[in-house]
A and B are shown apart, each in its own frame.
Chain A
Amino acid sequence: MQEKVKDAPGSEFTWVGTRPVRPDGVDKVTGRARFGADMAMQGQLVGKVLRSPHPHARIRAIDTSAAEKLPGVKAVVTREDFQDQPSEFIPAGEMMINYRDVVRNVMAREKALYEGHAVAAVAATSAAIAKQALKLIKVDYEVLPHVIDVVEAMQPGAPLLHEDMITAGVEPAPKTPSNVAKRIEFGAGDVEAGFKQADVIVERAFTTKPVHQGYIEPHACVASVSEDGQADVWVTTQGHWIVRAHCARLLGWDVGKIRVTSSEIGGGFGGKTVVYLEPLALALAKKSRRPVKMVMTREEVFRASGPTSGAHVRVKIGARKDGRIVAAEAELKYQAGAFAGSPVQPGAMCAYAPYDLENVKVVGYDVVTNRPKVAAYRAPGGPISEFAVESALDELAGKLGMDPIEFRLKNAAKQGTKAAYGPKFGPIGLVETLEAAKSHAHWRTPLGKNQGRGLACGFWFNIGGETSVSLSLNEDGTLSLTAGTPDIGGLRASLCMMAAEELSIPMDKIRVQIGDTGQLGYNFLTGGSRATFSSGMATVEAAREVMKEACKRAAKLWELPEDAVEYKDGAVRPAGPNAGKHAPMSLKEIAGIAGKTGGPIAGYARINAHGAAPSFATHIADVEVDPETGKVTVVRYTAIQDAGRAIHPSYVEGQYQGGVAQGIGWALNEEYIYGADGKLQNPGFLDYRVPVASDLPMIDTVIVEVPNPRHPYGVRGVGETPICPPMAALANAVAAATGVRFTDLPMSPPKVLKALDEARAKGTARL
């Protein structure tokens, strides 16, 4: 069941809010659409990476001579081929990047810091020869003790990954290095005083494991460099301008010399916002003077591309008996993997975001461990902290004898509430999602045997950012729209719909493409739930520029002042007192005279999209727990979320459903399993168990619309919020079904069964 709750009833739009077939759809259902590995360049070589078998080792020497001599090998690269980068934070688009870490993650320098860390790469005339060449590379490793647990890594005396890592954010700065890259603190008010006012306090510790974004398409690229240094890269990525920036920096080339084309992208979720293969492929292509294609195997994706952090979280929340929360505290310890940069900061900022709190304090630690460097994963940091907070709130509501929805309504953030992370909220839809949950049939449906129901809220900030879109009026009145944010899940449809809405023309008169880095000004990546918001805003601006220019040309022809002409109902017309004096001109007719009246007509928006607004959600989950096996099955799920305005409701629903599925996997089965030897034991989809079709029920959705006043169509980003509530919704449901509160994810059958048995022995189990 999919429903919509509209803040402003009635449909004033022709296209926006409808469900047309996406313009890139036919290519995707016929196999015509080309993804990263679907490109081949003439004369291309196959590139492969040699990866460290050790989780922590000093690299004393690398001898590539035998590999270089192997017939068919055309180039070999190691750390020698990449200039070292100083440790400084550089803006790369909107992100602050420490290139010293990036160059080392792409190709190990002094040390291998995780099993799977790239140590060398070769390009050869066939995959078989490339693999053989890897075997001929001799690496002299000095194996070092490793540490893969975040708490262990924080202990004094733990194996040190970076000898110069002094914890930032601590005053005075520590004198000795450690594995704690940073300490952060957010808060307001006085939590100690707050707790004194509490009638009930819940304090709990939670642990989560690293999980992978799990995109079905592995990393892949083809790179080619000509003799005069002009480079081309075809790559599956969430942000081709980011790929360009990183490669230019790492290779020391002019940004403008590199042209990056984004292929279709087979899933990203944040994991394709960074570079792994691309600088290697470019370096190999330059050295060999031939194009080089590199594709990761699934095993490499797991071993060597960023999962998200595993974490330890401690939460303490106090409330009065009337249900008002008086103090809330959290301590987050997130694993960053081999280099600093876990999402502990956004995780800390979102933890209590849905609530109106006077006294709140969140402390976070960013800790390095001998595991692959974490990469962003859908609402980075949020699902972990929100899991802990929403679980504790559930327990608190139970202790107060309050309904979970009433408890949250009593403390819910609204417009004007000072957010836990600082500024006041503008219009937001949290209360609307809670009310929708309250009145939803799911909330009232009786449960069956061994079943339990859980509820949780979720939040993500959403961002805007630099965006360039070009909209050209073609000679026959059709239009070509070029955007720069890769289409990861229906973007072309939404952009086409917004343009069609603005211009009052049929959608099929506008062809949308995603341009390469040479075709448009800068575009920040597809991520942060920004693409529909930002590229949409730019599309609207470009469309309005086209209409304005069309009016200008007609005004010239009609010898009227510019402001006496308007664009209305798909045509240019004289306005006001001159209405009817000239026959309206369609875009086709305007296009016909464009050349003679000044030149081609196009809109070209180049903006830094501001005004992104947060999206709140409330989810309801029903689970059934098998008392004999501990298996938790999700039997019903409803995701209610504020989209501001759903341009294409099917793709908004799709985001809700997809985020829910990932959250369910994170809650019930997904985890990176390491041995004591620091090596990953489950680098494949058989043992890294993501949800399959038979695991899940239909996922019902409700789109709430509290429009964002800062976007021409009221859009809020929606992609990330949906992954935030499921872990707590399920943990709360399992607690209701079993009487056992799970604080350690995933809640996989052996763990559930063990906990059930223990509870049964104590007499506290409900089944």
Chain B
Amino acid sequence: MAKHHVAATVNGDAVEFLCETEETLLDVLRDQLGLTGTKEGCSTGDCGACSVTVDGRLVCSCLMLGVEANGKAIGTIEGMAQGEELHPLQRKFLEHAALQCGVCTPGFLVASKALLEKNANPTETEVRYWLAGNLCRCTGYDKIVRAVLDAAAEMRGA
């Protein structure tokens, strides 16, 4: 079976790749495009470690096929910082020690960014429910939620 040719943008850069029918977007990002910041935790859409955005929408990249990325704009953790400047969420995660092992962190950052783009002033409950699809086994979520609320406040200029 011949591979499929796909053209998309990833973090604003044009990319082209060939992929098998059954390859997920996650497989493509990690194995073909060398973007290993997005992680595979379960491959069944339950842990959120593979969170990316597709045309601005938060998606589990393990649940999407590589071929489905054709013509889409993909956003990954690697595109979050602007040059040397970290995104406020990235800074707040560091300040609040909202990571321990760090493997879930890219997924949480992408998911939190998507939340704040939709709702610039979420309550603690709204943050928790939005992030319920991202599993963390190390932190108990406390410092993650605080970091997101603090970043939201800074981004609002509060």
Binding site for B on A (CB under 8 A): 19, 21-22, 24-26, 28-35, 37-38, 40, 128, 213-218, 264-269, 295, 297-298, 488-490, 648, 650-651, 653-655, 657-658, 660-662, 684-686, 690-696, 698-699
Structural contact, B44 and A265, CB atoms closer than 8 A: no
- The listed residue (B31, B39, B125) touching A217 by CB distance below 8 A is B39
Structural contact, B81 and A30, CB atoms closer than 8 A: yes
Structural contact, B20 and A25, CB atoms closer than 8 A: no
- Given A35-B39, A266-B39, A693-B141, is A686 in contact with B44 using a C-beta cutoff of 8 Å? yes
A34 to B31, CA, bound (A): 14
Structural contact, B140 and A685, CB atoms closer than 8 A: no
Say whether B72 faces chain A, with CB atoms less than 8 Å apart: no
Provide the residues of chain A in CB contact with B30, threshold 8 Å: 37-38
Distance in Å from the Cβ of B13 to the closest Cβ of chain A?
15
List which B106-158 residues lie within 8 A (CB) of chain A. Answer: 106, 109, 124-125, 127-129, 131-146
Which of A128, A490, A653, A685 has the most C-beta atoms of chain B within 10 angstroms of its own C-beta?
A: A685
Provide the residues of chain A in CB contact with B132, threshold 8 Å: 692-695
- Given A30-B80, A692-B132, is A658 in contact with B140 using a C-beta cutoff of 8 Å? yes
A134 to B141, CA, bound (A): 39
1/0 contact trace for B97-111 toward A, CB 8 Å? 101111111100100
- Given A264-B101, A686-B44, is A21 in contact with B95 using a C-beta cutoff of 8 Å? yes
| 8 residue pairs A–B, Cβ–Cβ below 8 Å | A28-B99, A28-B105, A40-B31, A216-B49, A660-B140, A684-B46, A685-B42, A691-B141
Structural contact, A218 and B41, CB atoms closer than 8 A: yes
Provide the residues of chain B in CB contact with A21, threshold 8 Å: 94-95
Structural contact, A651 and B97, CB atoms closer than 8 A: yes
Structural contact, A694 and B102, CB atoms closer than 8 A: no
A760 to B67, CA, bound (A): 57
- Given A658-B139, A698-B142, is A298 in contact with B37 using a C-beta cutoff of 8 Å? no
A264 to B77, CA, bound (A): 17
Structural contact, A266 and B134, CB atoms closer than 8 A: no
- The listed residue (A40, A488, A698) touching B101 by CB distance below 8 A is A488
Structural contact, B143 and A266, CB atoms closer than 8 A: no
A218 to B41, CA, bound (A): 6
Instruction: List 6 tightest A-B contacts by C-beta distance, closest first.
Output: A31-B37, A266-B103, A28-B102, A661-B140, A650-B97, A489-B100
Interface secondary structure of A, over-half rule: loop
Structural contact, B44 and A298, CB atoms closer than 8 A: yes
A694 to B48, CA, bound (A): 14
In the complex, besides A216-B49, A266-B39, A489-B100, 7 extra interface pairs with C-beta distance below 8 angstroms are A38-B30, A488-B101, A489-B138, A660-B140, A661-B141, A685-B135, A694-B131
A397 to B68, CA, bound (A): 62
A709 to B141, CA, bound (A): 33
A266 to B40, CA, bound (A): 11
A30 to B84, CA, bound (A): 11
Provide the residues of chain B in CB contact with A488, threshold 8 Å: 100-101
Structural contact, A651 and B100, CB atoms closer than 8 A: yes
1/0 contact trace for B75-94 toward A, CB 8 Å? 01110110000100010011
Say whether B43 faces chain A, with CB atoms less than 8 Å apart: yes
Provide the residues of chain B in CB contact with A128, threshold 8 Å: 20, 22
Which of B47, B76, B146 has the most C-beta atoms of chain A within 10 angstroms of its own C-beta?
A: B47
Provide the residues of chain A in CB contact with B133, threshold 8 Å: 692
Say whether B38 faces chain A, with CB atoms less than 8 Å apart: yes
- The listed residue (A29, A214, A692) touching B93 by CB distance below 8 A is A29
- Given A38-B36, A216-B49, A298-B41, is A694 in contact with B138 using a C-beta cutoff of 8 Å? no
- Given A298-B42, A693-B144, is A31 in contact with B36 using a C-beta cutoff of 8 Å? yes
Structural contact, B129 and A699, CB atoms closer than 8 A: no
Provide the residues of chain A in CB contact with B101, threshold 8 Å: 215-217, 264-268, 488-489
Provide the residues of chain A in CB contact with B58, threshold 8 Å: none
Provide the residues of chain B in CB contact with A30, threshold 8 Å: 37, 77-78, 80-81, 86, 90
Provide the residues of chain B in CB contact with A29, threshold 8 Å: 86, 90, 93-94, 99, 102, 105-106, 109
Structural contact, A693 and B138, CB atoms closer than 8 A: no
A730 to B42, CA, bound (A): 29
- The listed residue (A32, A650, A662, A690) touching B143 by CB distance below 8 A is A650
Say whether B35 faces chain A, with CB atoms less than 8 Å apart: yes
A694 to B102, CA, bound (A): 20
Distance in Å from the Cβ of B114 to the closest Cβ of chain A?
15
Provide the residues of chain A in CB contact with B128, threshold 8 Å: 693-694, 696
- Given A31-B38, A488-B101, A684-B44, is A216 in contact with B137 using a C-beta cutoff of 8 Å? yes
A216 to B40, CA, bound (A): 9
Structural contact, A25 and B94, CB atoms closer than 8 A: yes
Distance in Å from the Cβ of B82 to the closest Cβ of chain A?
11
A279 to B112, CA, bound (A): 39
Provide the residues of chain B in CB contact with A694, threshold 8 Å: 125, 128-129, 131-132
Structural contact, A216 and B127, CB atoms closer than 8 A: no
Which of A26, A37, A216 has the most C-beta atoms of chain B within 10 angstroms of its own C-beta?
A: A216
Closest to B22 in A: A128
A265 to B104, CA, bound (A): 11
Structural contact, B86 and A692, CB atoms closer than 8 A: no
Closest to A701 in B: B142
A26 to B94, CA, bound (A): 8
Provide the residues of chain A in CB contact with B102, threshold 8 Å: 24, 28-29, 33, 264, 266
Distance in Å from the Cβ of A639 to the closest Cβ of chain B?
9
- The listed residue (A31, A33, A35, A657) touching B140 by CB distance below 8 A is A657
Structural contact, A298 and B77, CB atoms closer than 8 A: no
Provide the residues of chain B in CB contact with A35, threshold 8 Å: 36, 39, 103
